[in-house]
Amino acid sequence: MIVTCVHVSVKPENVDDFIKASTINHENSVKEPGNLRFDLLQLAENGTRFLLYEAYESEEAAAAHKDTSHYKTWRETVAPYMAEDRKGVRYNIVTPASKAGWGK
Amino acid sequence: MIVTCVHVSVKPENVDDFIKASTINHENSVKEPGNLRFDLLQLAENGTRFLLYEAYESEEAAAAHKDTSHYKTWRETVAPYMAEDRKGVRYNIVTPASKAGWGK
């Protein structure tokens, strides 16, 4: 099981657009069979910065996400909203150690 | 609902000790009534760096966590393991928008 934290900085005028597009992406991503979490968070001290917390049960499931139409639509839609390049940070999961612990 | 991402850097010789103490803290924290998530992650590219992903249904629930005996025990236990000060980053939750979406 792996987690990718995607750090996003959005142009101030596109914050609402980004939330709208990312909410659609969230709604579809959590339905993927290998998805464990797909949380969208907004930095408390700076509303133009977001964190996508994406947990998948395997490398294959994480890779499959990037092949979905909802991911591709999101990527194209949000491209003009980015204030800087997104940065993905990969983590290995220590706990919950079992898939059941992730509520799946 | 709020999330705190706690970034931790551990002395290399204390990585196993930190995981042990933090796993106990995880097991107790997920039982708190206001807890939504309490994930412990290890940075893929550097095994001495960790992320605690702590989601609570309210500010009060997050504050109550710091009053629990398991948190206080964890804090004291891991203090000598720290390579540098922990850094907590606060986020507001965009999605899942409902508590049910967090599996609770």
> Domains in chain B and their CATH numbers?
2-97 (3.30.70.100)
Nearest to B83 by CA among B8, B6, B26, B3: B8
Q: Nearest CA to CA, how far is B23 from chain A (Å)?
A: 7
Most A-contacting residue of B29, B39, B52, B59 (CB-CB within 10 A), to test interface:
B39
pLDDT, tens digit, for every residue of B48-69? 999 999 999 999 999 999 999 9
Write out chain A residues lying below 8 Å of B89, CB-based. Answer: 43
Whether residue A34 contacts residue A102, with contact meaning beta carbons closer than 8 Å, is answered with no
The string of pLDDT tens digits covering residues A48-97 is: 999 999 999 999 999 999 999 999 999 999 999 999 999 999 999 999 98
Q: In the structure, what pLDDT confidence band is assigned to residue B42 with cuts at 50, 70 and 90? A: very high
* ipTM metric: 0.93
> Looking at chain A, which residue has its C-alpha nearest residue B95?
A40
User: Chain B residue closest to A43 (CA)?
Assistant: B91
Query: Which residue bears the tokens 């290890």?
Result: B42
